[in-house]
Structure 1
Amino acid sequence: MLITEPHLESPDDFYEALIDTHRDLGSAESHALNARLVLLLANHIGSLAVLKQALALARASGRHD
């Protein structure tokens, strides 16, 4: 089951690290980094059911119809 309540240890520190990781990258490099990060984290999660829940939620929450 996908955890959707706040669960991230030190969210502000993570956000800062994420922004720092993207610093000085062009748009294409930044998109490629995000793709690699998604695949690394998906591998860490491992469960296809959980990953499908995350994909559906991410797609639905990004819509502004």
Structure 2
Amino acid sequence: MQKLILEPNFSSTDDFYQMLIDMHQGLDDAESQLVNAKLILLLANHIGELGILREAMDIARTAK
């Protein structure tokens, strides 16, 4: 089984962060929550491995 990659794994974190901010532009709270949920499901489908997804969920829930 693969492990979740925890080191930075893309070239421009600033560009990615700006894309996330832009995605929410003009949305109310409910619309932002919905678009976040859709993005999570799309990326989870792309990953496709339950072990990796479970590890990511555990880390996201417990990380401070």
User: Counterparts in 2 of 1:1-65, with a 5 A limit?
Assistant: 1-62=3-64
Deviations for 1:4-32, whole angstroms, at most 9, x for unmatched residues?
A: 11112311111111100101100000000
TM-score normalised to structure 1 length: 0.90
Normalising by structure 2, we get a TM-score of: 0.92
Counting aligned pairs with the same residue, the percent is 53
The superposition leaves residues 12-57 of structure 1 with CA deviations (integer Å, 9 ceiling, x where unpaired) of 1111111001011000000000000000000000000000000000
Give structure 1 regions of 4+ aligned residues with deviation exceeding 3 angstroms: none
